[in-house]
Amino acid sequence: MQHLLRFIVILTTVLTFCEATISSACLRCICNVESGCRPIGCRYDVYSYSCGYFQIKEEYWEDCGRPGTSYKACANDYTCASNCVRAYMKRYIGSSGCPANCESYARIHNGGPRGCRYPSTLSYWEKVHQQGCNVNS
């Protein structure tokens, strides 16, 4: 019986990790940092355009599965853009080597698939943290 309980605990932990996803609270903090959580259109930023609520780049949109009718339309629709960010995080959190928490998600959003490992993304995390999100948000 004890072995069965141990197995169930381990299985539950593994399933929880596999299903880890960015929370609505963390998404909102990132959205506030990127655009004041408004559909602000596109702005030129570091060699390409970043668009919408989360200032998503076209390559990010492609990595999240190309939801919506187009890159710019999705980026400027909160539901589509949120789903894109969720899909991007789900795709990359497991291979990033970082824990599935708001800090890692924010740093991946800012620095790409392994952004949670780059010291340069710590200042971005501080901005997200100042929006009221903590590591476990």
- Active site annotation includes 103: no
Select which of 45, 59, 62, 126 is catalytic: 45
Who contacts 25 (Cβ-Cβ below 8 Å, separation ≥6)?
102, 132, 133, 137
**Helix (H), strand (E) at residue 39:** none
- Active site annotation includes 45: yes
Instruction: Catalogue the E-assigned strands of the chain.
Output: 42-45, 48-51, 56-57
The token pair at 36 is: 């004041």
Bridge partners of 44, per DSSP, are: 49
Instruction: Catalogue the E-assigned strands of 14-70.
Output: 42-45, 48-51, 56-57
Start-to-end CA distance of the chain, whole Å, equals 35
Select which of 19, 34, 63, 77 is catalytic: 34
Residue positions annotated with a catalytic role: 34, 45
